[in-house]
Amino acid sequence: MARAATTADAFNAVAEPRRRQILDALAGGERPVNDLVARLGLAQPQVSKHLRVLREVGLVEVREEGRQRMYRLNGQPLKPIHDWVKNYERSWSKRFDRLDVVLEELKTREDGNDGSNE
């Protein structure tokens, strides 16, 4: 499984603001390309180009329905980005867990010393 390549590509794919708009639109459900063209106010070739990039990294899937091509979102390739933020979040959480301990002590001390002094 070429995970590293896919990961890097998914990150690149969502770096483009228009492509994020497309993903946002698809987050609301499956849509035909005309619908995306109308929503984004771009020419169809541009939208198709963005959709191609998104398909290549697996963020978007397509199926034929009659004469229409229906596009839908696949969030799986975004997981590494999610994990990236979660990792940073964990380091702050650990730090704040220690701060909780300090705060409990300060609260106790304050209650003991001048709790009636409010």
Q: What are the residues binding other proteins (CB under 8 A)?
A: 7-8, 11-12, 14-15, 20, 23-24, 27, 73, 75-76, 78-82, 84-104, 106-108, 110
Helix (H) or strand (E) holding 54: helix 44-56
- The nearer residue to other proteins, 65 or 110, going by C-beta atoms, is 110
| Residue 60: CB minimum distance to other proteins, A | 11
Could you tell me the CA-to-CA distances from 56 to 44, 102, 108 in Å, in that order? 18, 50, 58
- The nearer residue to other proteins, 45 or 116, going by C-beta atoms, is 116
- The nearer residue to other proteins, 2 or 85, going by C-beta atoms, is 85
| Residue 117: CB minimum distance to other proteins, A | 13
CA 54 to mean position of chain CA atoms: 14
Helix axes 33-40, 17-27, angle to 10 degrees: 120
- The nearer residue to other proteins, 43 or 90, going by C-beta atoms, is 90
Cα angle 48, 49, 53 (rounded to 5 degrees) comes to 115
